[in-house]
Chain A
Amino acid sequence: DSGVTQTPKHLITATGQRVTLRCSPRSGDLSVYWYQQSLDQGLQFLIQYYNGEERAKGNILERFSAQQFPDLHSELNLSSLELGDSALYFCASSVVDGDYEQYFGPGTRLTVT
């Protein structure tokens, strides 16, 4: 157990819908990262927050947005869902940003039908 929690574990929804994925970082970690992993694919970096502020953006679609709250938990919002958005979404946290260990949560498996 890495100490990073993600909810829900599984999510099944229809095309065009909107969902929210939630992540709670390890106690004391200020940085949260979101990744998308499609079937048999690598880890695609989406976005990073550090202490409530957006730090870096990767290949995140305009239909996706995220935020980090004062208690440091983070939410990833996915809207106008398409079949291709079906994937595992991982959250990771680290003490600060950059050259410190990242610890991954168990992931949320999103299935869009």
Chain B
Amino acid sequence: GENVEQHPSTLSVQEGDSAVIKCTYSDSASNYFPWYKQELGKRPQLIIDIRSNVGEKKDQRIAVTLNKTAKHFSLHITETQPEDSAVYFCAASTTGNQFYFGTGTSLTVIP
């Protein structure tokens, strides 16, 4: 089955700086890569996703890049704000298959 690895496990940045979280996957058949943000005690919420036919996608301060050849994808958050502090999970899936989640990155934005 698929194996998703996520790094780093914790990340601290100063407010206004950028944050980058990286994930790798093993199954070349994976074609959908969502990112979820989870605040303490709350449900994971989808913040951005990308499909395998696209290399990059942006939504305001958030962007995701995908390198199919290297089997890795990354989340980029620019101009970080204290409210960006949360745990971020990446995931990979294929049509007709389950989602495989990374182990999470705890992001702290220091005011």
Q: Answer whether A98 and B43 are a contact pair too, CB < 8 Å, given A42-B102, A43-B89.
A: no
Give 23 CB contacts A-B under 8 Å: A33-B98, A33-B99, A42-B101, A42-B103, A43-B89, A45-B99, A45-B101, A55-B98, A56-B97, A56-B98, A58-B98, A90-B43, A90-B44, A97-B95, A97-B96, A97-B98, A98-B94, A99-B31, A99-B51, A99-B95, A101-B49, A103-B46, A104-B43
- Contact code string A32-64 (vs B, CB < 8 Å = 1, else 0): 010000000011010010000001101000000
The count of chain B contact residues (Cβ–Cβ below 8 Å) is 25
Q: Is the interface of A mostly helix, strand, loop or mixed?
A: loop
The count of chain A contact residues (Cβ–Cβ below 8 Å) is 22
Q: Chain A residues in contact with chain B, CB under 8 A?
A: 2, 33, 42-43, 45, 48, 55-56, 58, 88, 90, 97-107
